[in-house]
Structure 1
Amino acid sequence: MKKIVYPMLLSAVLLTACKKEENKIQEPMTDPPVENSNEVQQNTVEDVVAVPKFQYAEADQFAQEYSKFVNDFKTATANNDSEALKTLGPKLNEYQKRGVELAKRVPQDEAVAFQDFLNRLESYIK
């Protein structure tokens, strides 16, 4: 007898609980969150890498230019700016080639630091 009564009682409780949930009317939120429409949300990218100072003047100038370019490229990528990416895309290849050529000419005492700098910038682009 217990085997029949307990399952019946349990199923009756479940059925009434489900019915109450079906018939319940969902009311709108009384105090919905409000977004501030005055603030324009922009995707900005902070400076990628702190640019080290190099004794070799050409390497120092290239590091400054390339770092600025990578910041611009990341900003254009984050904002999905197709016009900017069209102009920056070919320049990326040019900067990469210049970096490889310049790495061969940098004095040996700065070569490791310069190569590390290039590798960090490359990792931010990918």
Structure 2
Amino acid sequence: MKKIVYPMLLSAVLLTACSKKEENKIQEPMTDPPVESVNNAPQTTAEDVATVPSFKYAEADQFAQEYSKFVSEFKTATANNDKEALKTLGPKLNEYQKRGVELAKRVPQDEAVAFQDFLNKLESYIK
């Protein structure tokens, strides 16, 4: 009986001792933490908006041309703080965003990633 009890007690003591070492281990702070800065954000220009990729899917290509033109008008109105233009462009912005989401679902698989990247790029110009 002693042959069974003593090894079990010894293994239990060893297991608890090992697990306590891991629990009490102090985590050291990062020596070089990553820093995010808004100042390093890439600046967008009207020329970037003007470069529109062409898509094989005709509806996506037409939408890309229209939406790119709209975004450049929206950026111009925002930069000039033209409140009248922003009143008319605001509802159109929501319409274009909805159309873009719906169209992204219908774009063929081989162009879906490029189309989504294009939409994301234009969205970043708006913000």
TM-score, reference length from structure 2: 0.63
Could you say which residue in structure 2 is the equivalent of 1:70? 71
* Equivalent residue runs for 1:1-126 within 5 Å: 46-49=46-49, 50-126=51-127
Percent identity of equivalent pairs: 87
- Distance in 1, Cα, partners of 2:91 & 2:54: 27
Amino acid at match of 2:55: F
Deviations 1:63-102 (A, max 9, x none): 0000000000000000000000000000000000000000
TM-score, reference length from structure 1: 0.63
Whether contact under 8 Å (1:56, 1:106) holds in the other structure is: yes
Could you say which residue in structure 2 is the equivalent of 1:38? none
Consecutive aligned runs of 4 or more in structure 1 exceeding 2 Å deviation: 45-49
Structure 1 gaps of 5+ residues are: 1-44
Structure 2 gaps of 5+ residues are: 1-44
Structure with higher helix content: 2
CA offset at residue 48 of structure 1? 3.5
- Distance in 2, Cα, partners of 1:62 & 1:46: 18
RMSD: 0.9
Structure with max Cα Rg: 1
CA offset at residue 112 of structure 1? 0.2
Whether contact under 8 Å (1:48, 1:71) holds in the other structure is: no
